[in-house]
Amino acid sequence: MISLMLALVALITFVGMEFVARGMHKFVMHGVLWRVHEDHHAEKQRELEKNDLFGLLFAGVSVYLMLNGILYGNAMALSVAVGMTAYGLAYFVVHDMIIHDRHIHLRSWGMRHDPFRRLIEVHDVHHKEGEGNWGFLFVIRGLDKVPERQAR
């Protein structure tokens, strides 16, 4: 029963991280720390960007929680760390490799698969307009501006 609860905490943390990331993206990345985020909006994406520092920040929090969980037997901290780490890995693969075609360059593959295609289209609206569509892994109708389906 406890294992199920801890797995649920990790899952809730994973989903919750999307909303933490949305808030950070809107109010911090496009606000007070725009100078760190602005290279992410350059025409051509680079392998390394100042914007990657945000991922390192979240990774640092996750590592801290993981160590706290392992060294002090804090299962709740470890579960949160697992959820954060899973979100970070998903962000790296989906946002960086599929949406922005960085590192392994999977955008053309993503455009052939509807769930990823929708993410790419919604995120492209954000980069074109410079605002809105603050999310990274989920398209939320009513919250995100979803472009009309384009002919393939």
pLDDT tens by residue, 93-123: 999 999 999 989 999 999 999 999 999 999 9
Q: Transcribe 24-68 into DSSP letters.
A: IIIIIIIIITHHHHGGGGSSS--SS-TTHHHHHHHHHHHHHHHHH
What percent of the chain is helix, strand and coil (3-state, nearest 5)? 70, 0, 30
Tell me the pTM.
0.91
For range 82-102, the mean pLDDT: 96
To 10 degrees, the CA torsion angle through 59, 95, 25, 138?
-110
> CB–CB of 70/76 below 8 Å?
no
Provide Rg for the chain, Cα atoms.
Answer: 17
For range 48-58, the mean pLDDT: 95
User: Domain ranges in the chain?
Assistant: 2-104
What's residue 147's pLDDT? 86
Asked if residue 152 has pLDDT above 50, the reply is: no
CA 5 to mean position of chain CA atoms? 24
What is the residue-averaged pLDDT of the chain? 93
Of 9-13, 32-36, 45-49, 116-120, the least confident? 45-49
User: Cα(46)–Cα(48) distance, rounded to whole angstroms?
Assistant: 5
| pLDDT digits 0-9 by tens, 17-29 | 999 999 999 999 9
CB hemisphere CA count around 37 (13 angstroms)? 17
What's residue 151's pLDDT? 44
User: Cα(85)–Cα(145) distance, rounded to whole angstroms?
Assistant: 28
